[in-house]
Amino acid sequence: MKKGIKRKSISKRIRFEVFKRDKFTCQYCGKKAPDVILEVDHIHPKSKGGADGILNFTTSCYECNRGKSNIQLDDQSALQKQRKQMEEVQERREQIELMFKWQESLTDLQKDTLTQVVEYIDNKIGKFSLNENGKRTIEKLINKFNLQDILEAIDISAKKYLKYDVSDNLIKDSVEDFIKKIGGILNIKNRPPIDQKLAYIKGICRNRFNFWDHKKGSIILNEYVIALKNYGYTEQQIINDLEKEMEPQAKQADNWSEWRSLVEGWTNDIRKWEKN
Ligand SMILES: [Zn+2]
């Protein structure tokens, strides 16, 4: 019961901060509001010199805060029980309110992020600006990816797809391209490292060669990676190999057929290693 009194001495604002930080979850048993009533608990007891700072507070459910057995030991009269139930109802109501406030602040944060990302894009496209459709696309990306990656993808896409006419005006089609490609760039960035490397290498080939068969090229590269795997290369060794052997090759080969016969030759060589 003593702890119950202590809880009330902690201000509402502090309690809200502690609950928010702990995501409205009891830090001892993991139960969440509103399934349980939450309280703020001192990590180092106040009686033993524990401070009243937020770092010394943690979120605890009613039961954990008392130690489950204590509840049974409380000999309560009917009246006391009733009063306690009423307090609990009040407490639950307050906590649900706080949770709504917390949810709203998260939504606000997301809206802020969207505004900022839209501004970041608008700054790159001069007299154009994102329409509602474009904003919705960006909102979806914000839900799925982290901000750092999104901004980086915007930079990459802008560099690659924004085009200017002779009088240095942005071409409208290129602006549309730029926005459309952001999601694709993010997806590449979030693929497994080997796939990312392969996508990068294929991008180099596609840009450099007059002819590039994307499907066939992917198969050839996959066979190469599988051969390395079968030989016993680790993921990191494969990535290193792609970087040191395959990437320079993509940058040096003159055309598709030269590239193709070279890589297929390498794959065959590796398959012979296996047989030794
Ligand atoms: Zn608990």
How far, in Å, CA of 39 to CA of 57, rounded?
A: 10
CA distance 62 to 4: 9
How far does the centroid of ligand 1 lie from the alpha carbon of residue 41, in Å? 11
* 95 alpha carbon – ligand 1 mean position (Å): 15
What is the number of alpha carbons within 13 Å of residue 110 lying toward its C-beta? 16
Ligand 1 centre and the CA of 62: distance in Å? 7
Distance from residue 49's CA to the centre of ligand 1 (Å)? 24
Domain regions of the chain by residue span: 2-75, 105-190, 191-276
pLDDT tens digits for range 202-220: 888 988 898 988 889 999 9
- The pLDDT > 70 percentage for the chain reads 89
Q: How far is the CA of 122 from the centre of ligand 1 (A)?
A: 48
Distance 10 CA to ligand 1 centre (A): 19
Distance CA 270, CA 276 (A): 10
pTM over the 0.75 mark? no
Q: Determine the distance separating the centroid of ligand 1 and the alpha carbon of 23, expressed in angstroms.
A: 13
Query: Per residue in 156-202, pLDDT tens?
Result: 999 999 999 998 899 999 999 999 999 998 887 777 889 888 988 98
Q: How far is ligand 1, taken at its centre, from the CA of residue 71, in Å?
A: 13
C-alpha span between 39 and 43 (Å, rounded): 12
Written as one letter, the residue type at 57 is F
Specify the residue for token string 């830090």.
27
For the stretch 73-121, pLDDT in tens is 345 566 666 677 777 777 888 888 888 888 888 888 888 889 999 999 9
* Centroid of ligand 1 to alpha carbon of 27 (angstroms): 7
Could you tell me the CA-to-CA distances from 9 to 2, 4, 100, 105, 143 in Å, in that order? 11, 9, 23, 25, 39
Class of domain 2-75 as given by CATH = mainly alpha
In three-state secondary structure terms, 35 is coil
What percent of the residues of the chain are helix, what percent strand, and what percent coil, each to the nearest 5?
70, 5, 20
The rounded Å distance from CA 65 to ligand 1 centre is 7
Ligand 1 center to 57 CA (angstroms)? 14
